[in-house]
Structure 1
Amino acid sequence: MLHRLAAPLALLLAACVPQAASVQTAPERPLKIASWNLEFLAEKDGVGCEPRSEQDYAAMRRIVDGLDADIIAFQEAETVAAASRVFDPARYTIVMEERAGAPSGTCGGKYPEQQVIRQAVGFAIRKDIAFDRHPDVASLMRGNAQLRSGVDITLRPKGNAAIRLLGVHLKSGCFAGSEAKACPVLLDQIPALEAWIDTAANGPDRFAVLGDWNRRLGLAGDAVWRDIDDAEPANADLHLADEGKAPACDPRYDSFIDHIVLDRRASAALIGFSEALYAPGEKHYSDHCPVAVTLRH
């Protein structure tokens, strides 16, 4: 009888042995990098050349939440406290340029009695992402306290390759060509910017330069783009993330001035570019819309 029971018993015992569970690992989250010019974002309600209410700040925070970006380069924020009204401090670490800025009179336009506030460059970085802060790129100021420096960081996201980021806000008023009154100033900033690009291109990490360039780099034959996209060194073979795309933020403009420029290594990981728009009929809480790229890890 024993030999007749042996096989069924063995099968029963095998069925009772716990089987190893199949392990499923979550796919790596793509890295989302955004930029948004906040248009005179003041620390207090009703202040600056674009005075806002508490409801306006809350709406801008909802826009940021909807972006769900890992890092946002921002421009035209007065202080860390001002930026914190839009970027939730529980979610983001805020770093800003050290340049103090200088008072520059009244606003004119819609609010002639309002005082111009500091317009600073910075980053809002998701709190679970490690980063290194490098010295600000003060060479972009060209000795002028009214010009913005660049904020230079290296992001080290878990599960992603490191990426070096330079947040910029170049001189306004020279959107194309070289004849406008502001062009000598902006064009004087370009060699300093190219020097940073060349140094980063020789470095170990992929990189991007992003922010408000105040320049339509996507126009055919643009001289600024031609100067910086020279593939010398090799990783300075640059990619304009909005290449071939037109903005939809404001019907008056058909070419971007907010750009995310990727080096050769970062562009190889590019998944896509996007522009976040205000809802139809919604107030424009800034005269710019956020732009973003997603990168594979």
Structure 2
Amino acid sequence: MKLTILGCYAATPRTITNPTSQVLEMNGHMFLIDAGEGTQVQLRRRKLKFQRINHIFISHLHGDHFYGLIGLISTFMLLNRQADLHVYGPKGIKEVILLQLRLSNSFTSYKLYFHELTSKESEIVFEDDKVIVRTIPLDHRVYTNGYLFETKHGERRLRIGAIEDLGIDRCYYQKIKRGGNVTLDDGTVIENKDITYDPEPTERYAFCSDTYYSEAIIPIIKDVNVLYHESTFLDSEEHNTQRTKHCTAKQAAKIAKLANVGTLVLGHYSTRYNDITLFKKEAETVFSGTILNADDGAIFNF
């Protein structure tokens, strides 16, 4: 699981900061999560092979989370993309993108699918044989979802030594990997657990931005490996959180602690602050686990 932060600041882009966008590489997929202004520039700057992106997840329709989407869609067209592109986001995302394409007399050379979301309950929005993605309903000024990405259990792992000692033919390997028992020529049944190891554990990544402090998300993100949670303000500005429907670094840390997450990644910093290490310091007073302070261009391998 690899996370590349393309942008992690709130509101407007600056020469040294970019609004929210990140790439999650998981089980062979390259997912784009949010697409603030300048996303495609950041993708090029980080030398990411963004033609691999087939699924884009937009949290909400505030500009610092989706203004870069139309540019990326247009660039894919100019690059003669042929692969399908799926966009997941709030109802309205299709209308705003298609309006821009229509008024600019543009079209896509590839199939563009929109999956518009309206539910206020967590729901599965994407699933294949490797990964499942669910929404995380958030409390913001407009309809907003975070996203929970989870790898599926793979096949069981073979204990090659034990299998060879029993003389089991290779033709049974796939059956064994899928959890099946094996019957030897003399009728002896070999239990699967005696010739395999458990599959690799699943990996779970939760993306939560933007949101007011809400413990309602804890059952959804419980025990995730990594949580990215917005932390727009420092504690001295907590009085602004209710009006803006955002969080402080300490509040993000409290969610991480209550949810027993492995790693907390902070982000969505207000550009009023010049030193983002202060966010880490405040969060660490609440959450004693690993705190990673995301900045534009940061890469995390989990």
TM-score in same-fold range (> 0.5): no
Q: Which has the higher helix share?
A: 2
User: Larger C-alpha radius of gyration, 1 or 2?
Assistant: 1
TM-score by length of structure 1 reads 0.38
